[in-house]
Chain A
Amino acid sequence: MPHAIAEPRLAVRGIGKRFGQTWVLRDVSLAVAPGQVHAVVGLNGSGKSTLMRAVYGAHQPSEGEILLDGVPCRFRGPRDALAKGVAAVPQELPVVPELSVTENIFLGMLPNSGGMLKLKHAHAEAERVLRHLHADAEVPGVHESVGRLSLAGQQLVTVARALVRHAGVIVFDEPTSALPGPAAARLRDVIRTLRADGEAIMFISQRLNDVLDLADELTVLRDGRAVAQGPAGAFTSETIVHWMVHGRPPATALARQAQVQVPVAETPASPPPGTAPVLTVRDLSAGRLTGISLDVWPGELVGLFGLPGSGAADILRAIYGAERATVGTIALDGVPLTRYSVRARIDRGLAYVTGDRPAALVADLSVAANMALPAARGLARTIRPRNERNQARAQITALNIQPPEPDVPVSTLSGGNQQKVILARWLTGNPKAWLLDDLTRGVDAQAQADIHEIIRDRMRHGACGLIYCSDPRELHRICDRGLLISSGRVIREIDPRALDADDLGSLLEGSRTP
């Protein structure tokens, strides 16, 4: 019942948010009826996360109001919002890894009588809700500690928390961006179930296919304002992108061609005969990896196709030295690296770009200092703040990092811009081999295209790379060659361009149980 005439459960009226002198959100209004999915899309920094946070109480709006069932509400925080019926499933999941599934679902409100916990009752209720979500595969038992669940499982636990509290509004912030294909499809089913239950759902995502698949209503934000709003059926992914980028509808066919196009790699670069590979790995075993062997030739970008947990990302970390290899050899231009520290491997020409931003950036340090972080690996060098700042400015301009300030703490940047800072680190040098670990996680389409172009450019100039992405479609677009990874092994080589994205999804799924 996508467009049923129903009283909106959630209404946002003229909402705005100001940080200091800057309005990051201005005069946005929208309404979500029970049984409706309202998607909010926009580029990084368009204000969509701010809007979401205002709705679930993590931000106090600077202007405007939020109405629940027609009654104006003020939320003192997410906890207060939850008590009043607005639940959030944010990107960084608010779970306690050490506690059990039940304890997480009832976090802060375990059923009790006079302080004595009624755990049996809680477990039964948790089981009931998880069964309703068909979560058996992701959440095998309610006694399991949540830290042992997959990301998808943790997400479902967060959704279940909303259900046991009878929240009428559920806000999803990028729910599918970190999930592998099959799990993302499962989550879309969960959202459909919730819609059928009569929940009012707000949903933000960079994945336009998910948006078009799920949404009944759509709001496009650009520079903090709602530039387009209407039934999702009135949009196509092309018109949405155009609204996001230009703030107006595509006028002509010519304009349509000028849209963001993700560059597709040119001809398949089969290993040129007679040249030696830059990076050679033989019989590498580390952690869950066993017997990994691969070669990467100059100029090629090799994609590691695998589900999270398949070991694809671990291969990158093992080559970089972030995880110690127990057996096997890694060689760069014939120099064995296996016994080297991370520092020495960087000296030899490895670069590692990760999408795990909290593990790559030092929040309190400035943008310039974060860009220069690998330079601090030699401890006895002097730092000239002016040079460092100028170098940072050059990178900021080249990568269009916003705000263009080298001195602000990196924590004040948006996710996409933080990602560019991590990339910028390695651009001042000339790494021979790039290890790219989900380097565009949670980054908008424009920034993703920019980042891909930079990487492709380095490959054209003779570097080589190994890349893993949680979204196989991204690999499909950027790689020259692919390796299918499952259970910590290289299964076989695949041609990423001979397959379409759906094939890849099923291939990955099938590879899990060889």
Chain B
Amino acid sequence: MKLTQVRGVRGDASPRKLQSGGAWLALIVIIALLGGTHHDFFDVSNIRNVLGTNAELLVVAAGMTIVVLSGGIDLSVGAMMAAAQLLLMELHGLPTALAILIVLAFGFAAGALVNGVLIGIAKLNFFVVTLASMTFGYGIVLVITGGSTTTLTSNFLNQLGNSLVAGIPTPAVIFVVLLVILVLMLRRTTLGRAVYSIGGNAEASRLAGIPIPAVTVLVYGISGFCGALGGVIDASRFLAATPTTGNNGEIALTCMAAVLLGGTALKGGSGGLAGTVAGVLVIGVLQNGVDLLGLSSYWQQAVTGIVLVAAVSLDRFRAIRPFRNGRTAASRLVVSTHDGSGWAAPAGSEPAGSTDRGGSN
């Protein structure tokens, strides 16, 4: 334990440029290994397969990235996907394009009005709120569908999920359009700046007049929109509305793995979408490699865990840059554990108020 603040190093590039390096490097290494060991890997159909199957994860993880940048987490993205598919099924009487627009609007509204309002305005904890809305969402979908999958028949939907645009799977093209919009939002609008700013230092943002509740509502709205879009893409690829879409909520954790792999800080404020794209592709390519090599898909999970730690460690060693004058207010302890000696606090003593530090309950 060091009892002083770690100092930033002068003259480095901006952290955003550095922090996704680990994920891209990991991606290149994995691609090189797979390309070298399996001749089908660079096959056009295999690459299309990787892009197509991961489009929905990319879309949902993009929304998650924005939530994480703002300092939160949205565990309810999987439930949003399932709810979107249910709504799409219920709207089968309408023209499919119109139905999809309604579903996307629903995703934004539900994310903003449920998660956003409870977290941003009622100031409830994001973890609790989105865990609850995930559970609630899946519950309601299961109640309505009785747990059964419904086939969707729509030529438009089929085109959306299973066609190519200029040789690229349509879902991947949809993702690229979304990516461009979200990157512009993050980098070229004051809303994007506010997202980074409230994740980086909520107090400083508040004192600069940034309306944190409004930003939070919008951020969870965007995540809801991305969840709904992910649900639509999933429905279009399989032409079905599945009540357990998003692996019963596990997709939120996969997204978090991709976001962190991509170098976005868990506490918010630094990182970005470029890293998340690499993060999702690492996970997707690993899955593909495991399939190609004929291994059990459990291996993909195990390897992803290792790659996650490796990529995040790489970024950490390249870009340690906390606040020069101490990250926190003067009265707070600035602890870092680089020297590996660990925390030597007086365990067993009974300090007043020490329990709310550990968060053990």
Give A contacts to B, CB under 8 Å.
19-22, 24, 53, 56, 58-59, 76-80, 88, 90-100, 103, 106-110, 115-117, 119, 145, 147, 151, 154, 178, 320, 322, 341-343, 345-347, 352, 354, 356-366, 369, 372-385, 403, 407-409, 411-415, 418, 425
Assess whether A363 is in contact with B2, with CB atoms less than 8 Å apart.
no
- How far, in Å, is B168 (CB) from chain A's closest CB? 29
Write out, one digit per residue, whether chain B residues 324-361 have a CB within 8 A of any chain A CB (1) or not (0).
Answer: 11111111111000110100111011011110110000
| Contact assessment for B14 and A381 in the assembled complex, using a CB-CB cutoff below 8 Å | no
> Which A residues are in CB contact (< 8 Å) with B12?
20, 408-409, 412
Residue of B nearest to A158 (CB): B3
Taken together as a complex, chains A and B put the C-alpha atoms of A103 and B333 apart, in Å, by 13
Q: In the complex, A256 Cα to B348 Cα: how many Å?
A: 61
Instruction: List 29 interface pairs A-B (beta carbons < 8 Å), by A numbering.
Output: A19-B9, A20-B11, A56-B4, A78-B3, A88-B4, A93-B331, A94-B333, A95-B333, A98-B356, A106-B346, A108-B346, A117-B348, A151-B331, A322-B206, A346-B209, A358-B329, A360-B207, A362-B200, A362-B204, A362-B205, A363-B269, A363-B327, A364-B15, A364-B196, A376-B193, A377-B210, A379-B194, A412-B324, A413-B324
List the 6 shortest-distance A-B pairs measured between CB atoms, nearest first.
Answer: A92-B326, A94-B3, A377-B209, A108-B344, A362-B200, A343-B209
Q: Give min CB distance, A254 to chain B, whole Å.
A: 37
Please indicate the chain A residues that have their CB under 8 angstroms from the CB of B324 in the complex: 363, 411-415, 418
Contact A408 B11 (CB under 8 A): yes
CB distance from A461 to the nearest CB of B (A): 23
Question: In the complex, which residues of chain B have a beta carbon less than 8 angstroms from the beta carbon of A372?
Answer: 193
B332 touches A97 (CB 8 A): yes
Total A-B pairs, Cβ < 8 A? 247
Q: Which of B192, B210, B330, B334 contacts A373 (CB 8 A)?
A: B210
The 8 Å CB contact of A374, one of B5, B203, B209, B351, is B209
Check if B121 is an interface residue, CB within 8 A of chain A: no
Q: Which of B4, B326, B357 contacts A358 (CB 8 A)?
A: B326
Q: A22-B10, A78-B2, A359-B204 are in contact. Are A92 and B346 (CB under 8 A)?
A: no
B199 to chain A, nearest CB (A): 9
A145 & B351 in contact (Cβ 8 Å cutoff)? yes
Contact of B323 among A145, A322, A342, A411 (CB under 8 A): A411
> Do B4 and A94 touch (CB < 8 A)?
yes
Closest CB in chain B relative to A24 CB, distance in Å? 8
Which of B189, B207, B351 is within 8 Å of A383, CB to CB? B189
Which of B112-120, B211-219, B247-255 participates in binding chain A? B211-219
Contacts of B331 in A (CB 8 A): 93, 95, 97, 147, 151, 154
Given A79-B339, A92-B328, A363-B200, 15 new contacts (CB under 8 A) = A20-B12, A22-B10, A24-B10, A76-B339, A94-B4, A99-B351, A343-B210, A372-B193, A373-B208, A375-B190, A376-B197, A384-B188, A403-B11, A412-B11, A415-B324
Docked CA distance A369–B356 (Å): 34
Closest A residue to B189 using CB positions: A382
Chain A residue contacts of B338, Cβ below 8 A: 77
- The reply to whether A415 and B325 contact each other, CB–CB distance below 8 Å, is yes
Nearest Cβ distance between residue B193 and chain A, in whole angstroms? 4
> A362 contacts B196, CB within 8 Å?
yes
Residue of B nearest to A94 (CB): B3
B4 and A343 contacting across the interface, CB-CB below 8 Å: no
B193 contact set on A, CB distance < 8 A: 369, 372-373, 376, 383
**Interface presence of B201 (CB below 8 A):** yes
Residues of B within 8 A of A362 (CB): 196-197, 200-201, 204-205, 269
A365 touches B191 (CB 8 A): no
Task: Say yes or no for B139: interface residue by CB 8 A criterion.
Answer: no
Minimum C-beta distance from B68 to chain A (A): 13
Q: Which residue of B lies closest to A375 (CB)?
A: B190
> Complex formed: what's the CA distance from A110 to B321 in Å?
32
In contact, A98 and B1 (Cβ under 8 angstroms): no
- Min Cβ gap B211→A in Å is 6
Q: What 0/1 readout, one digit per residue, does chain B (45-61) give for beta carbons within 8 Å of chain A?
A: 00000000000000000
Cβ contact within 8 Å between A409 and B328:
no
Q: Across the two chains, which residue of chain B brings its CB closest to A388?
A: B193
- For residue A48, give the distance in angstroms from its CB to the closest CB of chain B: 14
B15 contacts across to A, CB distance below 8 A = 364, 409
- Measured between alpha carbons, how far is A448 from B339 in the docked complex, in Å? 37
Question: Who on chain A is nearest to B194 by CB?
Answer: A376
- What is the chain B residue whose CB lies nearest that of A96? B333
Establish whether residues A356 and B209, one from each chain, have CB atoms under 8 Å apart when the complex forms: no
The answer to whether A79 and B1 touch across the interface, beta carbons within 8 angstroms, is yes
Determine if B208 and A103 form an interchain contact, defined as CB atoms under 8 angstroms apart. no
Residues of A within 8 A of B191 (CB): 376, 379-380
Question: A411 contacts B321, CB within 8 Å?
Answer: yes
Set of chain B residues within 8 Å of A425, measured between Cβ atoms = 208
- Cβ-closest chain A residue relative to B334: A92
B244 interface residue per 8 A CB criterion: no
1/0 contact string of B103-138 vs chain A (CB within 8 Å): 000000000000000000000000000000000000
Q: Chain B's nearest CB lies how many Å from the CB of A124?
A: 16
Chain B residue numbers with a CB within 8 Å of A103 are: 346, 349, 351
Q: Which B residue sits closest to A347, measured CB to CB?
A: B209
From residue B91, how far is it (CB to closest CB) to chain A in Å? 30
CB distance from B170 to the nearest CB of A (A): 30
* Contact A380/B4 with A95-B331, A107-B345, A110-B346 known, Cβ cut-off 8 Å: no
B8 within 8 A of A: yes
Does chain A have a CB within 8 A of B304? no
Nearest CB on B from A161, distance (A): 9
Q: Which residues of A contact B10 (CB under 8 A)?
A: 19-20, 22, 24, 403, 408, 412
